[in-house]
Amino acid sequence: MLVVTRKKDEKLMIGNEIEVQIIKIGKDSVRIGVKAPESVSVHRWEVYELIREANLAASRSQLPKGSLFKNLIADSSSTDDEAEKPS
């Protein structure tokens, strides 16, 4: 991990297109600004962790057997008569 010390208003460049700036330094927290191309998503670490964990749980899914699921969807909260199907 690269560790760099920056003062308020100073910046970091990640690659050629991502700019990180220290906006404000508080007692217990730091306000950070990120400029990045639209193709690069920026999220709090916890959000990534949540998604990773959900994917991991999904990869351990049990293969559903029989028509259990058809009933499950019929009982679901969706009030659709016909759901849009991907073509």
- Tell me how far apart the alpha carbons of residues 16 and 13 are, in angstroms, rounded to a whole number: 7
- Tell me how far apart the alpha carbons of residues 40 and 38 are, in angstroms, rounded to a whole number: 5
Number of shown-chain residues binding another protein (CB under 8 A): 38
For position 54 contacting another protein by CB under 8 A, the verdict is yes
User: DSSP letter at 48?
Assistant: H
The stretch near another protein (CB under 8 A) out of 4-12, 16-24, 25-33, 69-77 is 69-77
- The partner residues of 19 in beta bridges, in order of sequence, read 13, 35
- Tell me how far apart the alpha carbons of residues 61 and 51 are, in angstroms, rounded to a whole number: 15
Please identify, using beta-carbon distances, which residue of 25 and 47 lies nearer to another protein. 47
For position 28 contacting another protein by CB under 8 A, the verdict is no
Name the site residues for another protein (rule: CB under 8 A).
Answer: 38-39, 41, 43, 47-48, 50-59, 61-66, 68-70, 72-73, 75-80, 83-87
